[in-house]
Structure 1
């Protein structure tokens, strides 16, 4: 078969996302302007039981700071950000707490933002990624669960347990360190990986040096991602990445013809969740040399212009419905 779905949308080599646990209102002053400057969307993980309230959770370093309310979260969505469920209570989730922490918390957030919530984000640490929690998250239709694991997410993996790397000033003792704006980037480039950074609320100085970075360090990180990533990095919210990943995993391709006159396929999905809102996939296809002179393709007989990415190779991004017809052939000047 001459056609292949790319690992990531638009044929990008690697992916970058960044999340902010708790969804604190100070992001509006210290983080969001930096995101807007560099064109990188962010993602906030919301504690539903304290939505819009002054934080008061155990011994949290962020107590006294205010969580965003529904209106403020909607304003973030309007500029391209995403929102996840960070539980109801931010406590260790026992089996008798699952409904409150996963279902009710999500319902409250969805009502507040008038939008779907697709991710559960473990509060505290990976004890809240236990099997009974992940099983219930699957049952409730979540598309992914975000952990605290310093590792890449790779396109060949299932990606329900999603790794996030701490974007912090320094490691916990005795593993002392310094801030590294280059962290995991070369690794992601080499392995076509997806980096998700996580922090809380960068201020002039980190509130907690082991859990956060400063405002200037955040700027360094985003600047480095853009500078090194260039045209090869896809900066996206986790929802868009997981939509793409699931579409690729559930793609069904039927070859209609692969000859000198046309290369034609019928595309659809098998077993794809109804929760997947965006069903775009990017394809690369090997074609005769002459077709690259006028790189055209047809989606359900509607002509579109393809991109020539290498000799004999075209690329296109297609919105797929059930039994979408995709055809390549010689253009007028071929």
Structure 2
């Protein structure tokens, strides 16, 4: 992969055509953010090719109805986006690309931004159904969307999507490995059935590990779940990218079809333990969530719409937007 360049202003990165191809063309990526306990989590998203090389930003869109991740990002805006698969997208360049930066979360949908999203939605996800029923079904899913801009601080890339080969970094220097963390008060061992979780994850081709780097930005790496026992899930990890010791981490496995239909994922939080030699890793899952959607676009859209409608009504009852606004104001005061 062509090495990136930091040409231009001192604060704005300029990246190669290969990186631009990937960030503008991948259909599904993984957005990672920190957790209050000091770990990180990675969730599959469709960023719709939101990237502005002139401004040095990438973006992702989400509904305010799905406000759980927004709480965490507002508490700590340091996030990362992992471009880890070319499946069903438009990018042609090879490589695993990790973009780290600071997220700006708007708390009010912008009609102008939503209008600008329409051609991107159609290109990546296909035409949306229309009519009175679909206007009602998808209203809270589409009309409450915001675009999160991420001011890029660092771009790291590997020559292939498995994380093999030499690491290339542009922008801020790659930090030293984070120090091991103290074990959770409730213990670091598995709290879930590792055999069942292994079977679920083994069916999903894209598997990622997320943890908090030494500078606070999440690090996302491609891994493989290769076994399990009473100690946890055994991971095949990229050579030289994880230091020994334990830390809180997120483990995600997912799959998807054309236009991101037929989504399936398992998203875990837990404890990662890396051997002294750094060549083996065991992941003890503490929580897990996920779903498998049928490979029928209309059913998936209807389910998304109903889920967003329920969550949006709940947010209105509980004053969630006011709570998010306070989180944002508190973050600005402490900055």
Question: TM-score, normalized by length of structure 1?
Answer: 0.25
The structure in which a higher percent of residues are strand is 2
Computing the radius of gyration over CA atoms, which structure comes out larger, 1 or 2? 1
Question: TM-score, normalized by length of structure 2?
Answer: 0.25
